[in-house]
Amino acid sequence: MKTLQDINFNGKKALIRVDFNVPLDENFNVTDTTRIEAAKPTIDKILADGGSVILMSHLGRPKGVEEKYSLKHIVQTTSKILGKDVKFATDSIGSEAQKAAADLKPGEILLLENLRFHKEEEGGDVEFSKNLAALGDVYVNDAFGTAHRAHASTTIIAQFFPEEKCFGTLLAKEIDSLNKVLNNSEKPVTAVLGGSKVSSKITVIENILDKIDHMIVGGGMTFTFIKAQGGQIGQSICEDDKLELALEILEKAKQKNVQIHLPVDVIAADAFDNTANTQVVDVTKIPDGWQGLDAGPKSLELFDKVIGESKTILWNGPLGVFEMENFANGTIALGNSIAEATKKGAFSLVGGGDSVAAVKQFGLEPKMSYVSTGGGAMLEMLEGKTLPGIAAILES
């Protein structure tokens, strides 16, 4: 795996695919700078070598050129985080971008306009990729969040740099962390899978069953498993067409000696509302008209014990509707259990939109070994897929 450390960037222009798809408020202020901060180590190393940096990214899902999706809105914040003035080109290809790139001196940074202002970016167009490639000497992919897309700037462009291409610090760290869980893990390995649907996690479950010792199931997925085994789930969310599948997963896990831990009790509510009436009930005996919205106290004790004995932990998906304060306790308690295990030497990897949002919201992010920056990309890697953006760097 070729990384930044394998290249001396002295006198070279590094063309870096970053993921600066950051949230903006109505005044175009960046409201979460995590992704920009995550790219800083890569940029710092190149500048320290005596190189210059050309940053390319997308922002949002524009239909053609749309002012509100212009990357010019993030120039000030990016300059502040990187501690250097960032120059801006009002297009990603063409004469202005070419001149700005050609004039770039060692130690300078240039940000190109939103790649998705050109439909050729998402189309994986070869000519567009070639025009981008002409701007730099070395191609660096540091955008894990888009590594599962075969777009021009994430995949196709790499063919124009047969030797001069590598992974950035962030992307290398993502690959290492996932490898640590999937291929080089210290046992026992526990996967915590939450979220609402079994169907969205089925390929992940099938791929990781050979690699784990325990699987904790939480969130709405729980009730498909409970109903499949004859439990009463009231009004709880359930995929009725996946009941057979749930039983098959339980059987496969048994054959592979993987212990599946389902909640034994839940916080049930009489409406999907933070102010609803609640009661703690047995997960198999949820009354009619009530729905399970969080894991109950006995479940959390059980999960805490499993997590406490684990040496490698993968967390993907919350245990309850954590966006509502009254149903956030299960997710917080699980996060605290994982934080405690991490403190004692376990390796913990958190990934997937909702679990990442939860660890950030509850201040747990610094207590985890690694928090992934790419939800969709991480899920595809957990499913055993080779991501095109990663494959493109590995191919010589």
| Catalytic annotation, residues | 35, 197, 353, 376
User: How far is the CA of 324 from the CAs of 263, 292, 293, 320, 336, in angstroms?
Assistant: 19, 13, 10, 9, 18
Which phi and psi (to 5°) does residue 111 adopt?
Answer: -110, 125
Residues 6+ apart with CB under 8 A from 267: 278, 279, 280, 292, 293, 294, 295, 296, 320, 326, 327, 329, 330
> Do residues 189 and 312 lie in contact, with contact meaning Cβ atoms separated by under 8 Å?
yes
Quick one: which H or E segment has residue 345? none
Show binding-site residues for (2R)-3-phosphoglycerate: 35, 116, 149
Binding residues for ATP are: 201, 292, 323, 352-355
How far, in Å, CA of 68 to CA of 375, rounded?
A: 24
Q: b/e map of 331-352 (b: 16 or more CB within 10 Å)?
A: bbbbbbbbbebbeeebbbbbbb
CA atoms within 13 A on the CB side of 164: 15
User: How would you list the strands of the sheet with 259-261, edge to edge?
Assistant: 259-261, 214-217, 189-193, 312-316, 347-350, 370-371
The C-alpha atoms of residue 65 and residue 239 are separated, in whole angstroms, by 40
Q: Give the contacts of 255 (CB within 8 A, at least 6 positions apart).
A: none
Written as six digits, the tokens of 221 are: 């997925």
Report how far residue 372's alpha carbon sits from residue 30's, in angstroms, rounded to the nearest whole number.
20
Smallest Cα–Cα separation from 141: which of 130, 131, 151? 151
Binding site feature residues: 19-21, 35, 58-61, 116, 149, 201, 292, 323, 352-355
The secondary element (H helix, E strand) that includes residue 128 is helix 126-133
